Structure 1
Amino acid sequence: MLSQQLQVFLQVADSGSFAKAAQRLFVTPASVMKQMNALERRLGLTLLMRNNQGVSLTAAGRSLYEDGLRLQAYAADAVTRAKQAGGRDGVTIRVGSSLLNPSKVLTDLWAPLRETYGNYTFRIVPYEDTKEQILSVITSLGDRIDVLVGSFNSRSMQARANYLPLGTYRFCIALPEGHRLASRKTLTLDDLHGERVVMVKSGDTERIDEFHRLLKREHPQIIIEEASYYYDVDTFNLCGQQGLPLLTLDAWAGVHPSLITLPLVDLDYGVSYGILYARKPSEAVRGFIDIIRRHVAGSAE
C-alpha cells in the first residue's frame, strides 16, 4: 500500500547501505540508488548522506523514516482490519526478528498452541538490533513491531516496554578459531586466567553486574574488557578479528562462523530471555501475551 520509493527508502535506512538494501529487495544496487535519487528529487530534500561506509540519514531523512515506519505499520493494520471486516476474522502478531534475537524462539513456543488458537497468525518483521538502534526499536513497539523475543535484561530496555520472562540462557565463552582454548569441549573460569575477556559493560543489567563482581572477587586474574551495554554483530566481529574471548550466551552459539562457543561448566549462571511488548499494548497483543503467560505457567507446573 505504500509507494515503492518509500518502501525502498525504509529498507535503505534499515540496512545502512544501497548494497545491503538491494540484497534484501532482490534488486541491483544501481536500481536502489536510482529510486533514492528520484525520491530526493521529487521531494526536493536530501534524505541520505553518502560515504564510503554506506549511507546515513539526514535530519529530513530521519523524520521521513520515523513517519514512514508509522505509515507502514498503519497500512499493515488497515489490511488486517479490512480482512476482519470481510468476514475472515483473525489476529496477526507482528514479531520482530534479528540475528541475535530471532523470531524462531517464539514460533517454536507457539507450535503446541497453533491448533487451539488457529485464528492467530505471525508476520515476521526484520529489524536491525545494533547497539545504536535497539532502544529506539523497543521504544516504538506497537508501531511496526508488536513483540520482540530474546535476552532483554537491561534496565534501560525494560523501562521502555513490558517484559514477560520465558526461560534462561546460560553464560558461555566464544573463542576465535586458533585460540589456545578453542580445542576444548568445556571451560572453567580458571582456564581464562590471564585472558582479556570481552563482556557487556557493567551498570545496566543486574546479572551482568553480579558477574563482574564475582570475577573481580574470585578471579582477578581475568582481565575484563568492557564492550557496550548491548552486543551487536560488530561485537562478535571484533572478537573474531582481535582473537579475544567473548562472554556470550548458549543461544548465540551460531552467530559468527569464526567463533567457537564453549560452556562454562563450573558456573551455574545465566540471564533470562522473554518477550518485550509495548507499555500500552493493543487488545490483540494483550490477549496473545495472556495466552503465552498461561502456557508458560502451565508448563512449569
Structure 2
Amino acid sequence: MRPSRAVSGAARRLADAGVDAARAEAEQLAAYVLGVPRGRLALADGFDPDQLRRFDELVARRADREPLQHLTGTAGFRHLELAVGPGVFVPRPETELLAGWGVARGLEVVDRPLVVDLCSGSGAIALAVAQELPGARVVAVERSPEALRWLRRNATDRAAAGDRPVEVVVADVTDPELLADLAGRVDVLLCNPPYVPRSVVVPPEVAGHDPDEAVFGGADGLAVIGPVVRRAAELLRPGGVLGIEHDDTHGTAVPELLAADGRFTAVAEHHDLAGRPRFATASRRPDGDRADAGTAWQTGSS
C-alpha cells in the first residue's frame, strides 16, 4: 500500500478519536514504521504486509490516546532526540523556550557557567544546555526512580555522542538543604516543575501516561514552585538568574512569589508562541540582600 493512502486512512481514524494534528501524527507514525524521515515519506516505497500491520497497530494505540512519543520511543527537544516512555514526563515544545532562555543567559557568563536543572525528568533541559553550552557544568536533579532511568539513559547517550556529560543528582527539589555544596555559586537555575492545579482536567495522554507527580503541583499548582523559589535564592550567586515554567493560569502568581521573596530583582513574565503565560524569570539581587517584599515585576516576552 502506498504511504499516502495508508496515512489518509490513519489520519481520519486519529481525528475521529480526538487527536490534534491527526495528519501530522499519522505521517510521523508512517515514517517511523518505514524507517524514513517524515519529509521523504512521499518518496518511500509502499508498506509491505508486515509494515502495514505494524502501522495499523500503532495507529490503533494512538487512537486510544497513548502518546505518540511512547509509540516511537523518542521525543524531539531543541536539537536533541531523547528516549522517553512509561515513567517519565514527555518534554513539551513550549519548554524549549525556557531552555533557550537558559542557554542565552549562560552565554553571558564569562567563566565556565554553572547551570542547574531542577525536576529534570528525561533530562531535556539539562542535556540541551550541555549540548549548546559545551563549556558549562550542568547539574540535573531528579527524585523519581522511574524518571531517573530515562535521565541516565539519555545522559549516557548524549555523552557517547560527544556532548559534555551532565551530573545527575538524586534529590527532592523541595528539600531545604538541596545542593548545599553549591549554595551561592549557581549562575543559571532552570526548572520545569509539576505545576498543574489538581482540579484541572488534563488530556488522556497526560492523565493516562505522564507520571502524576510530574504533572500536578497540589491544589493550586504551586506546591513545588514555592519551595523551588526559596531554594533558588540560596543557590544562586549574586546576579545569578532563575527561570521557572508554570501553568498558564500562573502568569501573575509566580512573578508575585518571586517579587515577594525579596531576594530577586528583574522579575519578568514570558509568553509562549501561542501568547500564553509560560515561564517567569528573575535575577538574584547583586548585593545578596533581601529587599522589601512586593518588588515590582514586568511582563516580558520569550
Q: TM-score of the superposition, structure 1-length normalised?
A: 0.29
